[in-house]
Every structure is written in structure tokens, then in C-alpha cells.
Amino acid sequence: MGEFVRLEIADGIGTIRLERPPMNALNVQVQDELREAATAAAGDPAIRAVIVWGGPAVFAAGADIRDFATISYPDMVARASALTGAIDAVARIPKPVVAAITRFALGGGCELALACDWRVVAEDAKLGQPEIKLGLIPGAGGTQRLARLIGPARAKELIFSGRMVDAAEAERIGLADRVVPADRVYETAVELVRPFVTGPALALRAAKQAIDAGLSMDLASGLALESHLFAGLFATDDRVEGTTAFVEKRKPEFTGQ
């Protein structure tokens, strides 16, 4: 699709593949291509689940700091939304999404991982938000998504210190969902999302929307959203198939309709 970001499709799984050696730094071009790939994955009915993968060498080591050294405040005001928009495009994919993390997920790379539903992490990987060491803070969702995922106190400690965490600590605090040897990261990510390829796509989309949107609402509003989405699924073919299969005591064959 792009020079540094490709969307590869196999067996109902779309892989958003970052490939900008040596560290998959998220410069402006990568951000634009990432947004395009995420939008394409969201809209392609042949894709039922998504893996974000930086390859066996590294996931993503954040923004290109060389850009930060000379950029002015007015220029950054104009450009700040680009990285946020790219990360948000991944977060808005209405399908199950997993980050397959090798070696480093730092800064913008960690924020990209946080935008996914799960994180499969290599045993020797490091994750973190080191922006404070540059006199900055995370600017593409790190302060918001990290706090929601691991709690505000832990998020503050990591962001205030800028320290990296290893895979074991990431798993302990809820930043990593599975920790595996580096050579099994992508394979494990495939195993994680494969069951959703034949699942009820519209129900999965509704469940993700209810959870993600509900986190930013009060309880009453979240319950109203859930009720609305629940009722809407009664207009789907998969609801008919699922309930009929249950009554007939057989495995449902969902079509995603």
C-alpha cells in the first residue's frame, strides 16, 4: 500500500505491517500510511481481524526525534494532530485488533500498541513512554489510554519517570496480555484473533463500540448505548443464525451479515 506501511490479507486476517528500518520510527509519512492502512482494514469486509506488526526486529520506537529537534511551536500545532489521527485510526478499526510486539514499543510505538485491543509481547521486549526525558509528554493518546488500561497511579509513575518496563512487568500490570518467545509473537497474535474470523462480525463490532465508547461516558449513558446496540443486532442475519443454532443444538455458521 505504502512505502513503509503495508496491509497484507490472509485467511480473513489483515496485517498492518510497519517496515521502516531500523526502528520503524513514526515520521509523518509513516503516520499517513498507517492511517490509510487502518482505514482500509476497517472498511474491507474480507478482513475480520487485524494484527499490527513491526516485523521480527522491532515493533516501533516512537516518533522520529530528529523532527522534534528543529520544529517550531507553530509548526507542531499544525502537525500534532497527524500522529494522533493515525493512532486513532487504528483504535477505531471496528474489528478485533492485536499488536504483535518485538524488541521495543516506545513513545508513539507504545501509543500505537495501546490503541489495539490486546498486546502480544516478546519475552525480551521493552515498552514505555519516555517523552518526559525530552521535556515532553506523550502526545498521541499515551496519557489517556495508558491510564485507562493500567490505572492512573501506575500510568503516572511510568510517564513521569519515562522508564521502560520489561515484558514480565508489562504482563503483571496489565500492559501485556500474552508474553511469548520473540519468534512466536506473530504466530501467537494469529492464534489470538483467528477465532474471530468466523465470528459474528456485527456483534463483535457492537461489543467493541460499547466497551470503548462506554469508557468515556457515565454509567447511565453507557448502559443506554449498550441497550441501543443490543437491540440493533436483532436486525442481523447472524443473530437469527446464532439463536436458531442454539435451539437446534448445533454450531452456528456466521456470515458477518
Active-site residue among 131, 176, 199, 203? 131
CA torsion angle for 247, 252, 256, 257 (degrees, to 10)?
-30
3 flagged as catalytic:
no
Contact 133, 48 (CB under 8 A): no
In 93-125, which positions are buried (b, 16+ CB within 10 angstroms) versus exposed (e)? bbbbbbbbbbbbbbbbbbbbbbbbbbbbbbeeb
Contact 53, 15 (CB under 8 A): yes
14, 60, 105, 111: the catalytic one is 111
User: Exactly one of 14, 62, 108, 139 is catalytic; which is it?
Assistant: 108
What is d(CA 70, CA 89) in angstroms, rounded to the nearest whole number? 27
Active site residue 63: yes
How far CA 28 is from CA of 66, 148, 243, in Å, comes to: 12, 27, 47
Q: Residue 59 carries which side chain, given as an amino acid letter?
A: F
| Known active-site residue 131 | yes
Q: Determine contact, residues 127/242, Cβ cutoff 8 Å.
A: no
- CB–CB of 239/185 below 8 Å? no
Identify whether 111 is a catalytic site residue: yes
Supply the residues annotated as catalytic: 63, 108, 111, 131
